[in-house]
Structure 1
Amino acid sequence: MTADPRWLPRFEGELVQLGLEPARARHLAEETSQQASEFGASPTELFGPAHLYARHLVAALSAPEDPAPQAHATPELARGRVLLSLERVGKRHRRTTVFADVDLTVRAGEVAAVVGANGCGKSTLLRICAGLVKPTTGTVRRTARVGYVPQEGGTAGWLTPAEHFALFGAAARMAPRRARSTGEHLARRLAWRPDRARCAQHLSGGTRQKLNLVLGELHAPDLLLLDEPYQGFDQGTYVDFWQQVRAWRDSGRGVVVVTHLLHDLRHVDQVLDLSAAAPDPETTRAGAGRGPGRRA
């Protein structure tokens, strides 16, 4: 590997400029050098420009590890601009109404959960939010920078994680080296060190879902749409995931997460019960096309 002798001093100096104590900055520089050695790469190859990686690291260190329950709710006045707005949104498949009259507003610094019975259209609603599916009725407004993490799929089995990072980064106009280093950094937040030689088809289901999460965040979106993103996670990674959700909220991002686990709801600011937007069964069987619906 080709090492840049100036990378570590620049990295350490940038950490100090960003407010870390010199001893702490030196320790982190030593850890970073060790991580690069374990991967058999130079810090430049693995992490990208020193000043950018320093900013990523300081942002991660600034996220609260376990905020008190009362800190979970963001005061209304502190919440930012609207990132997602659904007004009377409905979806029909042929003559069957899946849901109707759904209203939802998500602002910067908010986490919203979408819950409901199986088959009520939670995944369909999230795809509508992402712009992948058109609603039958209603209006959808969203910010331009959106990250979408599907419940299944989303990766190419024959590509390695690093190749995924470069491919998805190219779509966001990121240089390949920067995309790979950013992906490696985000993966470590989920306690995952991608194997450079292993293709996605040989990863476990939980690890593929970690890859999906990293790809959804790679381009630093303002709004993250997550469809039961923790499938296959062990307990430790599940806890890491919700810590990351809090970090996204604290950084001013908006998050919408589909979940069927009721104990997840203590982590969120608002809940949309999609079952409340289900049509009247008798009306649907009669072929009226649209059930009465209720605002959720």
Structure 2
Amino acid sequence: MDDNDLAVRVTGLHKRYGEKRAVDGLDLTVARGEIVAVLGPNGAGKTTSVEILEGYRHRDAGDVRVLGVDPQTAGRDWRARIGIVLQSTNDLAEASVSELVHHFARYYPDPRDPDEVIDAVGLREKARTRSRQLSGGQRRRLDVALGIVGRPELLFLDEPTTGFDPEARHAFWDLIAGLRDGGTTIVLTTHYLEEAEHLADRVAVVSAGRVVAVDTPADLGGRSARRAVVRWVEAGAHREEQTDAPTALVAALAGRLGGEVPGLQVVRPTLEDVYLSLIADDQAGDAATPAAHPAPALVTTEASR
């Protein structure tokens, strides 16, 4: 893919804290206009990697381009092109929704209309409410309003629906999907596998500071090609069989059992199944070959000085 089509390009990213390798050779690309969900266990390096992309943290080695610019040396013009929604914020708790959105809009050279943004995130009825009086879901909507009022080309979302009830989570997903449909590129970190499956065009799984798999939710880790499990009840016993041809197996069972197949289930691996398998395989590989990922020399690139 041409660099002009990429919002993010990361190659060989490394970051250490003393002896700990927080990021250990991470590679990632994000195409313009797509949502990429970054998944991984706590301590996998997700937050450090994203903070480097946002320009908040310096790297030790590797090449990073975000909207064509190295975030480590980027200026104010570049920062006006990105939006960031942190996991939790408690700033300006006494200001109202309207005051906050109008205030943040003044930081940008070409902001969206603040009142239109308030409408877009579903907070019109709360426009005069102080932010400390908002519910958790409403506060996250306000966070998104502050993140998008500058008309960002790229939006970073860090665990955006933590603490949401199911109804609020689904409403928030509709909002995020609408932003993507409007052309905003989104990098999403989340612990909710259902969220990643619902929103993401691609999923990147991070383990031990590197990307171990990246693909569409349907195809991650060869998910679509993995064998189905057919379960049924026969002669009072629960049976199951793995197969590459579940339709043929069900037809054979129906013929043998006289039509209806008691307790029939056809199950394919879920995204969670595949994710847990990828993490377990990577951790098992690290345990078996402890020298497979030696600490990198601290190569200082021209951009990271």
* TM class by smaller structure: 0.5 to 0.7
Judge conservation of contact 1:182–1:218 (CA < 8 Å) in 2.
no
Does 2:109 align with 1:173? yes
Could you tell me how far apart the structure 2 residues matched to 1:241 and 1:205 are?
Answer: 12
Task: Render the CA deviation track for 1:211-259: whole Å, top value 9, x for unaligned.
Answer: 1111111112111110011123232231122223322332332111001
The DSSP-based 3-state class of the residue aligned with 1:131 is: coil
Identity %, equivalent residues? 30
Aligned twin of 1:273: 205
Distance 1:194 1:183, change over 3 A: farther
Distance 1:241 1:205, change over 3 A: closer
Aligned twin of 1:90: 14
The DSSP-based 3-state class of the residue aligned with 2:160 is: coil
Deviation at 1:153, TM superposition (A): 1.5
The structure that has the greater radius of gyration is: 2
Judge conservation of contact 2:53–2:66 (CA < 8 Å) in 1.
yes
Could you tell me how far apart the structure 2 residues matched to 1:272 and 1:246 are?
Answer: 18
Task: Render the CA deviation track for 1:59-81: whole Å, top value 9, x for unaligned.
Answer: xxxxxxxxxxxxxxxxx99xx82
Which amino acid is 1:118 matched to? N
Which amino acid is 2:12 matched to? R
Identify the structure with bigger relative contact order (alpha carbons < 8 Å, sequence gap 6+). Answer: 1
Task: Render the CA deviation track for 1:153-188: whole Å, top value 9, x for unaligned.
Answer: 26322222112112210101368xx74313322222
Could you tell me how far apart the structure 2 residues matched to 1:101 and 1:129 are?
Answer: 14
2:33 is matched with which residue: 85, 89, 109?
109
Report matched runs for 1:49-128 at 5 Å.
81-128=5-52
Distance 1:98 1:182, change over 3 A: same
Does 2:78 align with 1:142? no
TM-score by length of 1: 0.62
Could you tell me how far apart the structure 1 residues matched to 2:55 and 2:66 are?
Answer: 9
TM-score by length of 2: 0.60
Could you tell me how far apart the structure 2 residues matched to 1:155 and 1:284 are?
Answer: 44
1:209 is matched with which residue: 140, 144, 163?
140
Q: Which moved more, 1:195-204 or 1:258-267?
A: 195-204
Aligned twin of 1:231: 162
Deviation at 1:195, TM superposition (A): 2.9
Does 2:93 align with 1:157? yes
The DSSP-based 3-state class of the residue aligned with 1:274 is: strand
Which structure shows the higher helix fraction?
Answer: 1
- Gaps of at least 5 residues in structure 2 are 68-77, 211-282, 298-305
- Gaps of at least 5 residues in structure 1 are 1-75, 292-296
Could you tell me how far apart the structure 1 residues matched to 2:163 and 2:103 are?
Answer: 25
Distance 1:195 1:172, change over 3 A: same
Deviation at 1:282, TM superposition (A): 10
Could you tell me how far apart the structure 2 residues matched to 1:185 and 1:174 are?
Answer: 18
Distance 1:140 1:121, change over 3 A: same
1:254 is matched with which residue: 185, 188, 192?
185
Task: Render the CA deviation track for 1:43-99: whole Å, top value 9, x for unaligned.
Answer: xxxxxxxxxxxxxxxxxxxxxxxxxxxxxxxxx99xx82111111112212221112
Judge conservation of contact 1:158–1:199 (CA < 8 Å) in 2.
yes
Could you tell me how far apart the structure 2 residues matched to 1:290 and 1:154 are?
Answer: 38
